[in-house]
Amino acid sequence: MLVNQIELSSKAYLAKVVQAAGSVISIEDAAAALDIDNVAASRRLSLWSQQGWLRRIKRGMYTPISIASGGGEQVVEDPWVLIPDLFGDAYIGGWSAAEYWELTEQIFRGICVFTTKQVREKEEVIQGITFVTRQIKPEKLFDLKPVWREQTKVFISSPEKTIIDMLDTPEIGGGIRHISDCLKIYLQRDKADVAALIKTALQQNNGAVLKRLGFLLERIGSDESVLNTLREQLTQGNAKLDPALNCPRLISRWRLLVPENWLEGDRA
């Protein structure tokens, strides 16, 4: 009888912690919910994990077993809920945001996350979920949209910011061909806003972005006034269309080095 009473009491404490913390529970969450110190909270979370009520997802972080997938490696039904606790000031971007905004039909492996936290590895697997991370400065946290997943608010880059981020770092956009396709899809929409796109590109403060954006818009067939606006903002020096590609040919009006098959005759 005493054992059952202790178990019931323990579950009540756990319910209190889950109600306060939500899908992801940290040591600090448990300590605050139960009004105990971090050492005691850590021990209690560890015990609940051993009892099978919690699943440890990372050092000092747990998730209630009720949202664990049955028998599989992946713990949570919606991995996005982990992002604020794992990565702090962060947002979903790159190919993951392109998928969310339906700028692509491609399915990519892993969730692309931009974070201000220091990251040791660009790719991290947590309970079977792959997070591809890119460390950024706090001033890059702009033009974001809040998305609610369960009770967790997660930020995602706007469609314009998504394209600009991918132009900034083509590898997180699946390469320049895929980014060009995403840009075409964006421009075909009624809500496409080229002025907002340029504004976001300027705020990104990377000269290579403006060169890549101008070149792609020209290939797609944008108005000359739009192209002139971008040319007026070009920085000195040449940039590559995609650092991962061999880019031997210079498009001087954009100060951009491109592969042979990206010359004017190839308007893919």
Q: Are strands 54-58 and 152-157 parallel, antiparallel or unpaired?
A: unpaired
Residue 66: is its pLDDT beyond 80?
no
Residue 92 pLDDT exceeds 80: yes
194-209: pLDDT as tens digits: 999 999 999 999 999 9
pLDDT at 229 > cutoff 80? yes
Percent of the chain scored above 90 by pLDDT?
Answer: 54
Q: What sign has the CA pseudo-torsion 76, 79, 80, 85?
A: positive
Residues 6+ apart with CB under 8 A from 219: 180, 267
Q: What pLDDT is stored for residue 24 in this prediction?
A: 79
pLDDT at 85 (0 to 100)? 83
User: What pLDDT digit, counting tens, does each position of 176-194 carry?
Assistant: 999 999 999 999 999 999 9
pLDDT band of 6, cuts 50, 70, 90 = very low
pLDDT for 209: 97
Query: Tokens 């900034």 — which residue?
Result: 168
Burial 127-143 (b: 16+ CB within 10 A, else e): bebebbbbbbeeebbeb
Residue 2 pLDDT level (bands cut at 50, 70, 90): very low
Looking at the chain, the whole-number percentage of residues with pLDDT higher than 70 is 91
Is the pLDDT assigned to residue 71 strictly greater than 70? no
Highest-confidence segment of 67-71, 121-125, 227-231 = 227-231
Query: Binning pLDDT at 50, 70 and 90, where does residue 1 land?
Result: very low
pLDDT band at 9 (very low <50, low <70, confident <90, very high): low
Mean per-residue pLDDT over the chain, rounded: 86
Residue 266 has pLDDT above 70, yes or no: no
Instruction: Give residue 62's pLDDT.
Output: 80
Residue 3 has pLDDT above 50, yes or no: no
**For 135-162, how does the pLDDT look when each residue is reduced to its tens digit (9 = 90+)?**
999 999 999 999 998 778 999 999 999 9
Full 3-state SS string of the chain? CHHHHHHHHHHHHHHHHHHHHCCCEEHHHHHHHHCCCHHHHHHHHHHHHHCCCEEEEECCEEEEHHHCCCCCCCCCCCHHHHHHHHHCCEEECHHHHHHHCCCCCCCCCCEEEEECCCCCCCEEEECCEEEEEEECCHHHCCCEEEEEECCEEEEEECHHHHHHHHHHCHHHHCCHHHHHHHHHHHHCCCCCCHHHHHHHHHHHCCHHHHHHHHHHHHHHCCCHHHHHHHHCCCCCCCEECCCCCCCCEEECCCCEEECHHHCCCCCC
Least confident of 122-126, 189-193, 235-239: 122-126
